[in-house]
Structures are given as structure tokens and as C-alpha cells.
Amino acid sequence: MKKAVFLILILAAASTLVSSQTNRSFGWEGENFMLDGKPFIIRSGEMHYPRVPRMYWRDRFKKAKAMGLNTITTYIFWNLHEPRKGQFDFAGNLDVAEFVREAKEEGLYVIVRPGPYVCTEWDFGGIPAWLLAEKDMKVRTSDARFVAASDAYMKEVGKRLAPLEIDKGGNIIMLQVENEYGSFGADKDYMNAVKKQIRDAGFSGQLFTSDGSLDYMLKNGTLPDVLSVINFGVDQKASVAGVEKEFANFAKFRQNVPRMVGEYWIGWFDHWGKPHQTVKPEAVAEGLDWMLKNGISFNLYMFHGGTSFGYMNGANYNAKEPYQADTTSYDYDSPLDEAGRTTPKYFALRDVIKKYLPAGETLPEVPANAELIEIPKFDLRETADIFQLLGKPKSSHEPLSMEEAGQNYGFILYRKKLDKAADGELKFDLRDYGHIFLDGALAGKIDRRLKQNALAINAKSGATLDILVENGGRLNFGKDFIYDRKGIFGAVTLGGGDLEGWQIFNLPLNDLRRLKFKKAAAKPNTPTFYRGTFDLKALGDTYLDTRTWGKGHVWVNGNHLGRHWKIGPQQTLFVPANFLRTGQNEVIVLETDAVREASLTGIKHQIFENQ
């Protein structure tokens, strides 16, 4: 009898515990968000798990909490989670469920923005490039093929994150439907399809859309039964007036709903060849103060930007410049810099938030910043020609785009043996940077940024024409981004006539083990790999100083850091400690232009300057 009573008590206690963990709610009433039935101001900061090494997630969460944030917002990156159709990856740095759980352990709620499109200066806005293998594919539309593909992806996200919603004992309080769709289109069938995908994936929580505050953006990008928030940046000359104007625009569209800035742009991103972008802390703080004084929720974009490692940077365009590639660094002039260290902007915003904390809430002490390490100068004396990596080619009557050739990122080589002598203009649509060779000798370069699409050549009959093309990152924003296939798109003409009969070599550069290095000078005007080593007794984060190099990519112990380019503004590459090891470390640099000095140094700070 005693055992039975004891068992009943245990079951009752367990039931109470489960109930206390799951009997929570988040929604809205009137102008207030409601958390567990009480008004709640969302104080959020954006941070993306792929841009921050997993070992540092918790440190960044602690710093978010100490700054006064109560929520973290993140996109979900479809192209990383489904790198090939039907093959999903949520391991290691892509374990977004662990990211959410760690945020909860540090006392933070989470807002999830699953896409399928996410923008965020990320290659193709986070949409998998393999979708572009079909020439007539229309992403971000009701195209049945795209909807089916995104539905399969969303279900995989739901398996991992739907159980972590707040009413199920987790900490996810809201989910975004698509992303700034009003700046792109007006297909309500598509928007409703995305909404349905999120629900079908198992998510039951609060949904919202996020758009600019202009009338057409809100009209096109929202749904009548879904909350709407607005995105905007800081006007440094009149920050408060600018914020007031944004919400006045929103008030013309909807009233008696919670007001929130879904992306409060407190910094900005960098394009190669353009000045480094910054926003004054004082202007950001003034705008935030006005919002908190008026009971408005916010999401700082970005609280911590981090790094778009590897090939993941995106690109933009405008009427004057057809292609503006983003840098690898996503520092964004954020409150935490690329290495996760607090900045003056961090403390300026912390001071504002402290003024508006609810009664009884205090801020933790700010965690100390990790000390970066220096690496003495070391030379890269060994070299290897990029043409070593040529494998078996594909044959095609006309050039195939990179995607049609079964490749997503990296370089691709187009080879043609000329049937007759030629003295004329070689013309084609190249995306995005190309080296043209005749019988192995460099004939010239083409840069899409500069609207270049032709080169005058003089070739003899039987000469071998090679066109080596680098994918500089797909467009991630605008109405034309959906057409941004890479490599050569369309026909190649020489002297007005089509060149046909091509050999196409894939060069994704995702495995450099086949390279055979030797201590020898690089062949002039030929893209070349350089290799060197350095020793470490203790590990730490560092920045590699790339100012003596031209243009290319860097790998440390097989980890692809990203791109370097002498035109700046980025002149350093962040190396997190988890990419390093005690003892000997290997560095490989692909240099596609010209190197002034084949050496590197590890330093403790970023360098932003243009050459």
C-alpha cells in the first residue's frame, strides 16, 4: 500500500514538472506581445549559427544577456542543410537545435526565420544552388517544383525545431514567413504556401512577416492573418526622426497590433572595392531609446555578425553596377565584432536598455573577451598549379552553366580547340571573374563588377582557348537574383560567330589533397596554390594579414576561411581557434592574380582599408 501511494506521489510530481515546463504561451493582444499572459517587450539580437563557431555560441549568448537582450533571432540556411537534393545535414556547426537549446540554458528566447529565402548577404539568399540546374526554375514563386523542394526542407527543419517551441517546453516564441517578400513580389499563393509549409512541419507558434515600411512592401509581403513587423536602418543625421517616420508609415497600414522592428540595421555590410561601412553608436542608441520609451520591440541586426566562411558570401547589384560581391567578413560594425569582442556600440546600447528594464530585472556582468594570439611571419614557399586539379571533362556543344555542370561553388574551366585562326572580339556572359588563356598563356581577365564581357584576342588555328571562371558569390537580393547562374551563361562568340564544342572541367576546390606541391616559383600569370606551415604551442583566435596578396582564397588545416582581395576593404581573414592545432599547422593560399610577398602573419585585430 505504501509503495502504491509512493508511486502515485512520484507520478503526480512528474506530471506537475511536465506541466510547469510546457504550460507556457506566447502571442499578442492589442498592441502588446504576451508572454505567459503578461505584456512582453522583445529585446532581440540577430546571430547566425553558421557564422559563429559552435564552441563560441554560449559565450555570445552570455554577452547578449549581459547587454540586456532577452531573445536571439536566427535564420535557417537551407543551402547548408541540403547541399545536395535530398541529403540533409544538421550536424556540428549546423546543429541549429543545439543552438536553440543553449540559448535557453542562457535564459534567452529564440525567434526562428526559416525562409526558404533568407537574403542576409548569403549566397543565393540561402536557397540551394542545385535548383538552378533546371533552366526555367523560378524560385520564390508558386512554381510547383520550388514549392515541393522547399516543403521537403521545411519538414526537416520542423523535425528538429518544432519540439522546441515555448508551448512544448522550449524557448522558440515566433517564426517568420518567408523574408522581406514585399521587396520582391506579390504572389500571395506563394506566401500562403510557405505559411502552410511551416504549419505542416509541426510549428504551432506565433507567425509574422518582415518587410520595409513602404506601402507597396507591406501590401505585397504580408498576409492578413499574420503579424507584420518592419525593417529599417539608422539615419545618422536624424535617428529619432527616422525611426518615428518608419512607424508612422506602418501605422497607415495596420493599427492596434504590436509594433516591432524585425531588423534594426545598426551597422551594414561591405562590398569588395567599396569603403568599410560603419554606423555611429550614438545614432543607434538614440533610435533604440525612442523605441523602448514607446514600448516597441526590436531585433538588432546584427548583434554579432561573424564570418561568411568559404564560398558563402552573397552579392548585390544596382542600375550602375551589375555585380557587387560581399566580403567574407560579416563584421557588420556590430556590438560584438567578428571575433566576438565587445565594442563601444555594445556598451552604448547596454546603457539604453538598462534604463527600461522591468522592475526586478538586473543585468549580469559582461563576460571578459578572449585574448587573441599573434603568429610570427611565415613564408609559403611551396607551389602547385591550379591546372593539376583538372579531372575528366564533360563534353558539350555549347557552354553549360556551373549548375548545369553539377557544381555549386568554386571555379570552372571551359576549353575549346580553335578550328581556325581568329583575330577579333571574344564575347560572353561571364559570372563572375575570368582568366582567358591561349595555349596556356594569359590573354586577359574579365571582371563582371566592371561590366566587362569581351576581350580582343589574336589566335592561330589549333590554339587551345581556356576560360577559367570564378564564382564570386550569387546575388542574394533583388528581382533578378533568381537568374544568377554561374560560370558562362549562354553562347560564346568570337568575331561574331558562335564557338561550339567545349570541354568543361569542374573545379569546386573542396578537396585539395590531390595537389602536388614543390619548392618552385609560380608560373607567371597562372592561378597558383601556395603552401606553408607554422607552429603553435597554445591556441587562440587570430586574423591572417593578407595585404601582400592579390586575389583568391585561404585554407587553414583544410578549413576554408574565405576570400582575400587586395582591393579591400577587408584585408584580414578571421581564424577561430578551433581551426588551429598545437604543433604544426598548414596554410594553403590560392592566388589568382599577383602576390607581392608570399608570407602571412597572425595579428590581433581586423584591418579594413582599400588599395
Write out the catalytic residue numbers.
Answer: 180, 263
- Tell me the C-alpha distance between 45 and 298, whole Å: 8
What grid cell was written down for 287? 533610435
Q: Give the count of beta carbons closer than 10 Å to the beta carbon of residue 604.
A: 14
Q: Write the DSSP string, 223-247.
A: -TTSEEEEEEE--TTSHHHHHHHHH
> CA-CA distance, 91 to 68, in Å (whole number)?
30
Q: Within 10 A of 158 (CB to CB), how many other CB atoms are there?
A: 18
Residue with cell 512541419: 201
Residue 329's region, left for phi above 0, alpha for psi from -120 to 50, else beta, is beta
- The terminus-to-terminus CA distance of the chain in angstroms comes to 84
Given a contact cutoff of 8 angstroms between Cβ atoms, the answer to whether 341 and 369 are in contact is yes
* Cell digits of residue 103: 540559448
| Spatial separation of the C-alpha atoms in residues 448 and 325, rounded to whole Å | 10
The Cα diameter of the chain in Å comes to 102
Helix (H) / strand (E) containing 464: strand 464-470
Which residues share a beta bridge with 44? 71, 299
Cβ(244)–Cβ(213) below 8 Å: no
Please state, in angstroms and rounded to a whole number, the distance separating the CA atoms of residues 343 and 341: 6
CA–CA–CA angle 577, 583, 589 (5° rounding): 65
Distance CA 71, CA 104 (A): 9
In the sheet with 441-447, reading across from the earlier edge strand, the strands are 394-396, 502-507, 411-417, 464-470, 433-438, 441-447
Are 266 and 235 a contacting pair, CB within 8 Å?
A: no
Q: What is the arrangement of strands in the sheet containing 542-545, beginning at the earlier edge strand?
A: 375-379, 599-603, 542-545, 572-575
Specify the long-range contacts of residues 7-15, CB closer than 8 Å, at least 24 apart.
none
DSSP 8-state secondary structure symbol assigned to residue 429: -
User: What is the four-CA torsion angle of 513, 515, 521, 524, rounded to 10 degrees?
Assistant: -120
**Alpha-carbon dihedral of residues 345, 347, 351, 354, nearest 10 degrees?**
120
Strands (E), 146-304: 172-176, 206-211, 227-233, 260-265, 297-304
473 vs 122: CA distance, rounded Å: 8
Amino acid at 332: Y
Dihedral, 130, 135, 138, 142 alpha carbons, nearest 10? -100
CA-CA distances (angstroms) from residue 333 to 275, 281, 337, 477, 501? 13, 10, 7, 21, 49
Q: Which of 305, 303, 272 is nearest to 288 (CA)?
A: 303
